[in-house]
Amino acid sequence: RNDAPAVLSAMARARAAEAQIDGARGAWYPTVSVSSSPSFGFSDRPFLPRTSLPGVSDRLQNVSTGIDGTVQARFPIYDFGRTAANVESARRGYTASQEDARVQAFQAMSTAAVQYLTALNDREAITSVRVTVTQREAQLRIAEGLVERGARPPIERTRAQVNLDAARLDLVSAEARELVDRANLAAAVGLDPTEEIDLAPVDEAEMPVDDDPTRAANAAVAARPEFAAARARLLQSESQLEAARAQRRPTLSATASGSVSYAAVLTGNGLAGISESVNAGLNFSWPVFDATARANIVTAERNLEAARAALDAQSMQVRAAAVQAALSLRTSRAALAQAERLAAGAAANLEQA
């Protein structure tokens, strides 16, 4: 089911990882910024060379105000693969997040399937215990008849009664266990635990499962989302290492800016009016020494080693679980075949008796 909280959380993380792809691509596009700042100033400075003319001050004083606006733009030209590495890392991170969501969905379905089969087993166990109770009741009646006729000592009736009480207790326990497992099943499929669920028997022919350990292990590695998620994390770690190394490459970009300023002199003398300026150029930047970039590379290398180890561990875990399941299935099939033979023999003996 895709509405389980863990699945919804994983899907949300996948969408967040998808948004990071656009964030990484943003380095390819130009950036434009606009700024404006008002100003107010007072100036008082000597006039050199000094003059002794009457009525002429030997100091320059003025009070002015103004405002300016600036537009700056940067156009990336070439970054030697830095942005491309970041975009690829984001893409692989999104793929890994999708696989994580598949893992959560698979685990939710597995939990529901296990609970369903458990509830079915509980129902069959109840049927079996009820048969046992019926048999113990018959044994008690037989024991009572034999005791009344003096063919058996009274202890036989007591033993039959105890056996019947034990079977009835087993029946109560089996019914209680079924109620609990039905509630767990309802919770696993997103229903109210008090809601009644109709359990249809499972036809084994509808679930063809190969009990060969080798084929089961290979099939699990090819199909299990846990292994696919670990492999996607390995690819993501490789991209993150490439992106960390790319941060040491140079970048080439074009820059342009334009500004307009207006100044007014309130008192005194000074420059006033509107002025404009336009600038353009190229910017080449190369981080020759960057301790942070080096640390990021080392961190990415260690993360890659961890991802490789996690992939190996996940492969071993998936294969081991598949082998154990195949062997358990093979053993269960053999036990079922033997039980069917015993049941057939018991029916033949009953017929003869």
pLDDT digit string (tens) for 159-191? 999 999 999 999 999 999 998 988 888 887 777
Distance between CA atoms of 353 and 340, rounded to whole angstroms?
20
The CA R_g of the chain, rounded to the nearest whole Å, is 41
Measuring CA to CA, how many Å separate 78 from each of 49, 91, 99, 150, 252?
54, 21, 33, 107, 5
Q: Is the peptide bond before 54 cis (omega within 30 degrees of 0)?
A: no
What is the reported pLDDT for 42? 77
Q: Is the pLDDT of residue 49 over 70?
A: no
Distance between CA atoms of 257 and 35, rounded to whole angstroms?
11
Q: Is the pLDDT of residue 256 over 90?
A: yes
3-class DSSP state for residue 61? strand
Distance between CA atoms of 85 and 21, rounded to whole angstroms?
11
This prediction's pTM = 0.70
What is the reported pLDDT for 269? 64
3-class DSSP state for residue 337? helix
Residue 153, token pair as written in the block: 């000592």
Query: Contacts by 104-108 with C-beta closer than 8 Å and gap 24+?
Result: 104/4, 104/6, 104/7, 104/9, 104/10, 105/1, 105/2, 105/4, 105/7, 105/10, 105/225, 106/224, 106/225, 106/226, 107/6, 108/1, 108/4, 108/6, 108/7, 108/188
What is the reported pLDDT for 63? 78
Averaged pLDDT for residues 105-121? 86
Q: Is the pLDDT of residue 62 over 80?
A: no
Distance between CA atoms of 192 and 2, rounded to whole angstroms?
17
